[in-house]
């Protein structure tokens, strides 16, 4: 399992992401592929997660050995999605090689378990983290740093690479 983890990338970012770094995100995904990463874990929330999932889905069109894992906090998570986000969600799910729901029921704990799954099964975390100390992205970045997972933050302000 460590072999797979060492070739795996996870994504975590704010739902308020509005495509501000899509080009950079696609570049990072391609660079990580060139570094030997083949498995990409997407947390499937609207905003940054789905943008990352789409970037991986596009990479899959070029490289057949790319694996996309959709990590859901709970079954039936898709009921939260409407309009453009629903279309993105459906595309990423359709392109996913596997769908993992870490809980059967909706709860706050399910989101934390999903974030733990992302960190615990990857060696790189690509984030869109604005430095705010609360929320799922902050939790995930903190956990990644504690676990020795490399964090690449695409948020445009370098001072946001604060230590916890």
Look at residue 163 and tell me whether its pLDDT is greater than 80: no
Look at residue 116 and tell me whether its pLDDT is greater than 80: yes
Q: Where are the domains of the chain?
A: 2-160
Look at residue 161 and tell me whether its pLDDT is greater than 60: no
Look at residue 164 and tell me whether its pLDDT is greater than 80: no
Look at residue 154 and tell me whether its pLDDT is greater than 60: yes
Helix (H) or strand (E) run with residue 69 in it: strand 67-72
Question: Can you tell me the mean pLDDT for 60-70?
Answer: 97
Q: What is the DSSP string of 51-95?
A: HHHHHHHHHHTT-TT-EEEEEESSTTGGGG--HHHHHHHHHHHHH
- Among 10-24, 52-66, 146-160, the range scoring the smallest mean pLDDT is 146-160
Question: Can you tell me the mean pLDDT for 107-127?
Answer: 97
> Which pair of structure tokens corresponds to residue 105?
């029921």
* pLDDT tier at 113, thresholds 50, 70, 90: very high
Look at residue 3 and tell me whether its pLDDT is greater than 60: yes
pTM over 0.85: yes
Task: Report the pLDDT value the prediction gives residue 114, as an integer from 0 to 100.
Answer: 98
Architecture label for domain 2-160: 3-Layer(aba) Sandwich (3.40)
CA distance 78 to 152: 27
């Amino acid at each position: 399992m460590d072999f797979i983890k060492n070739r795996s990338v996870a994504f975590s970012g704010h739902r308020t992401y509005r495509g501000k770094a899509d080009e950079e995100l696609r570049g990072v995904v391609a660079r990580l592929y060139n570094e030997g990463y083949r498995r990409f874990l997407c947390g499937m929330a609207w905003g940054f997660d789905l943008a990352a999932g789409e970037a991986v889905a596009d990479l899959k069109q070029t490289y057949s050995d790319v694996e996309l894992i959709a990590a859901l906090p709970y079954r039936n998570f898709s009921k939260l999605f409407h309009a453009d986000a629903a279309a993105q969600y459906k595309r990423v799910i359709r392109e996913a090689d596997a769908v993992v729901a870490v809980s059967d029921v909706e709860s706050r704990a399910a989101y934390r378990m999903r974030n733990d799954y992302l960190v615990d099964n990857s060696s790189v975390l690509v984030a869109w983290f604005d430095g705010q100390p609360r929320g799922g992205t902050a939790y995930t970045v903190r956990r990644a740093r504690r676990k020795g997972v490399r964090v690449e933050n695409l948020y445009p302000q370098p001072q946001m690479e604060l230590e916890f």
